[in-house]
Amino acid sequence: MAEPKKERKSLPLLKKKNTERVPSRLSRIMRRVAAAAVLLLFLQIILGNTFLYGNNAFGILLKITTVISIIGTIAYYSLRIIIFMKSRLLWRVRRRLIITYLFIGLTPILLLTVFEVISMFSVSAEAMARILAVQIVSSEKRLLENTKSLANGLSGIDPSSPRFQAFLDEQMATIHASLPKARCAIWRSGISSKAFKQPADITSNPTADSSKINSGFSDSLPEWLQAKTEWSGFIRGSRGDTGWQSLRAVVKKKNLVILTEFPIDASYTQRLTEETGITVQPEDYEHIKVETSRGNVVISETSGESKSSNGTGSRFLYPVVFSATKWKDGTPDDIFVPMSFSWSPREASKQLLGKSELGQHLRVGLVGIGITFIVVELIALLIAVLMTRAVTGTVHELYTATEYITYGNFNYRARVRSRDQLGELAEAFNDMSEHIETLLEERVERERLEREVEIAAEVQSKLFPRELPRLPTVEIAAECRAARGVAGDYYDCLMLSPGHMLLALGDVSGKGLSASLVMSNLQASFRAQATMMTERSLLSDGRPQTGNIASDRSMGHRPVRPYSYGTVSRMTSVINEQLCQSMEANRFATLFLGLYDEPNRTLYYTNSGHNAAMLIHSDGSIERLERGGMMVGAFDWATFEEAYTTISPDAVLIVFSDGLTEARSLDGEEYGDERLVRFAIDHRYLPADRLLDAIFQEVDNWTGSREREDDQTLVVVKAAIPATAIPLPL
């Protein structure tokens, strides 16, 4: 493998692809809209106080147009920027993988963090609300127990005696020790008058006339309480009621009904704050000011903003929810928020973990776990980045290598960064590049050979007769179809003299260029022998013999029979000797050689190992021309036998190579001699050229899409004009 640095020297060969895009129609329109938006905005800044932008139809339309154009421009170019940034940011695989890792790694952490925060808020807030609820319920129970104790004590004392008031003041002082601002109202059965004590009256002037103080209650108990012996709970009255938000307890004892009330106000919430450490404030309690005058209760709203006495700052307020009862009708309130408290992580941790040594250890432990999680996440992120670089580094190398290959530099080799699957992929890519380079060289060589084959085919085409002889008694058609550009088959038709035609069809062993070279050798030998035979047939004055011996003698010449029985066999023997001298031992050719004597309609032939030519007579009978000998070019001692036959009127002579009969169908079945014979018999009435085309078409239909495996050569001789029979020479 080549050194990477050495390969980097060819980097300047890379060219950037032209990625410029023609602006779309929408882009061109939005450019004009953006220019119009800038112009309109500038005009509005300059001429905003003029009549152009006044409260008239034109001014309103101009303002609307300005706003729409600005919004459209901002939206369009924002989208373009997002698409551009996305294409720039996500083009590299490394960035895609990093973003993927971030989504995969950080999204669960973010979701878990949000879940933990929500859970911590909910659990801690509910825990703090539970602490306050326990304190309030405890206050309710104390209020009920104190009311019971008061009822038990007062039930045995005559209400008209001074001892009744003294015991009441004594018990209220005891109640105020645990529940400041508690109030009491007492009814005696059948008596509508009542005694009501407020904390100030008891502490400052215990003997004050209770009739001067209005309790804010009705003269009698609500109907829903008259059947109960005892009851306690939250009361949510109207804002006109002094106890619109309070704890109340009712106890019936003998002929007395005692009601105690404890208001949920700022002093109580301050006390809860001190006892629990939770910053508590009542619900809008500071907005209400109670004034008493002549037995009437006056409710007035304070002016200004509502401020909590405890100052929650930026903390989150969380409600304490209780079920309450409406005092007038006893119907329940589904939701009742007597107070709220401020929540913060610091206060939540103080409430949950406390100030004990164990709580401090837990707090330190949680902080340590959080730091550990963050460190682990950072390490995981670092590992993800390193793994991403390992992956994308090889991908980038492969991309660079493909760019080099795109511009034809197959010498570049991708750098192998790791010994893993990606490294194997890079090595496989380098091997592929090397193989591509080799294949390109082979392709160039093959194209050169194909060009040489084309040239050889052009040269070979000139070896075949350009024009076939035209005879009065027969018509001739011939064609050779090569399997590999150039053919190893050969056919030829030569006129030796008027009325005498030499016909040959040979098939050289093998295919391709080597067979075509042997074929050219065969053609040269055949043409040489034909030329010699033509020269021997000339008279002394250089004219060809007419074939009429008496006529030639009358002209003072000594005629000879230039073409007699045995001429074809002798010619075949000479060709065999010449081929044996010029060809290798493993090369040979089959040859059908015939001499047609037109005056006698006789064909002299020798079949040297070739497929037997078929002579189809006018009645449809078949004569196979098989006599001859072995192939030529193999043994110089070979002898060849000659035979002759008569080509009767309307007879058809078919000479062919084995490429036709051995043509295979898609199933691998050969076409065969029998099919060729039957087809030729059925179509023997056709002219020679049309019969030749029909046979080739029949064979092509048989083979279908199968590639031609061997050269296919066919010569058709069709007898047309009758002639007077002439005795054959012996």
Cα 665 to its chain centre, rounded Å, is 43
pLDDT of residue 202: 30
* Mean pLDDT in residue range 565-585: 85
Distance in angstroms (rounded) separating the CA atoms of residues 376 and 380: 6
Domain ranges of the chain: 24-91, 132-346, 465-539+562-719
Q: Are 508 and 481 in contact (CB under 8 A)?
A: no
Strand-strand pairing, 332-343 and 643-646: unpaired
Sequential DSSP letters for 630-653: S-BSS-TT-----EEEE--TT-EE
Distance in angstroms (rounded) separating the CA atoms of residues 573 and 502: 16
Q: Which residue has the tokens 């030499």?
A: 502
What separation in angstroms does the CA of 224 have from each of 104, 186, 239, 257? 63, 17, 21, 14
pLDDT digits (tens, 9 = 90+) for 162-196: 888 888 888 888 888 888 888 888 877 644 333 33
Distance in angstroms (rounded) separating the CA atoms of residues 696 and 711: 12
Phi, psi angle pair for 275, to nearest 5° = -75, -35
**Token pair listed for 546:** 């007419």
Q: Are 659 and 615 in contact (CB under 8 A)?
A: no
pLDDT of residue 382: 81
For the packed helices 567-582 and 512-536, what is the interaxial angle rounded to 10 degrees? 140
Share of residues in the chain with pLDDT > 90 (%): 14
Phi, psi angle pair for 297, to nearest 5° = -105, 125
Q: Is the pTM of this model over 0.85?
A: no
What separation in angstroms does the CA of 482 have from each of 211, 507, 551, 708? 138, 12, 47, 8
Distance in angstroms (rounded) separating the CA atoms of residues 24 and 416: 43
pLDDT of residue 310: 42
Could you confirm whether domain 465-539+562-719 is CATH 3.60.40.10? yes
Task: Name the 3-class secondary structure at 7.
Answer: helix
Q: What is the dihedral of CA 64, 65, 68, 70, to 10 degrees?
A: -120
Question: 3-state DSSP: the chain helix, strand, coil percent, rounded to 5?
Answer: 50, 20, 30
pLDDT of residue 674: 92
pLDDT of residue 540: 47
Task: Name the 3-class secondary structure at 350.
Answer: helix
Q: Highest-confidence range of 205-214, 251-260, 277-286, by mean pLDDT?
A: 251-260
pLDDT digits (tens, 9 = 90+) for 371-410: 888 888 788 778 777 777 777 777 777 778 888 877 777 7
pLDDT of residue 687: 92
DSSP letter for 423, please.
H
pLDDT of residue 546: 53
Distance in angstroms (rounded) separating the CA atoms of residues 273 and 260: 24
Sequential DSSP letters for 274-318: HHHS--EEESSGGGEEEEEETTEEEEEEPPS----TT--TTPEEE
Strand-strand pairing, 602-608 and 628-629: parallel
pLDDT of residue 237: 63
Task: Name the 3-class secondary structure at 164.
Answer: helix
Sequential DSSP letters for 427-469: HHHHHHHHHHHHHHHHHHHHHHHHHHHHHHHHHHHTTS-SS--
**Token pair listed for 589:** 């050719």
The residues, any chain, with a CB within 8 Å of residue 248's CB and separated by 6 or more, are 143, 232, 233, 234, 235, 259, 260, 261, 262, 327
Distance in angstroms (rounded) separating the CA atoms of residues 121 and 115: 10
* Residue whose C-alpha is closest to residue 489's, from 455, 453, 525, 463: 463
Q: Tell me the three-class secondary structure of 118-133, residue by residue.
A: HHHHHHHHHHHHHHHH
Distance in angstroms (rounded) separating the CA atoms of residues 315 and 318: 9
**Token pair listed for 484:** 């590999």
Distance in angstroms (rounded) separating the CA atoms of residues 99 and 84: 17
Partners of 280 in the β-ladder: 341
Q: Are 504 and 592 in contact (CB under 8 A)?
A: yes
Helix H segments across 282-411? 345-353, 357-406
Q: Taking 90 as the threshold, does the pLDDT of residue 655 lie above it?
A: yes
Phi, psi angle pair for 176, to nearest 5° = -65, -20
Q: Are 315 and 342 in contact (CB under 8 A)?
A: yes
**Residue 305: pLDDT band with limits 50, 70, 90:** very low
Q: Are 150 and 259 in contact (CB under 8 A)?
A: no
pLDDT digits (tens, 9 = 90+) for 399-452: 788 888 777 777 777 777 767 776 777 778 788 887 877 888 888 888 887 777
> What burial class does residue 578 get, using C-beta atoms within 10 Å of its C-beta: 0-12 exposed, 13-18 middle, 19+ buried?
buried
For the packed helices 25-47 and 57-90, what is the interaxial angle rounded to 10 degrees? 130
What separation in angstroms does the CA of 588 have from each of 515, 631, 634? 10, 7, 5
pLDDT digits (tens, 9 = 90+) for 503-513: 999 888 877 77
* Mean pLDDT in residue range 460-488: 84
Cα 387 to its chain centre, rounded Å, is 23
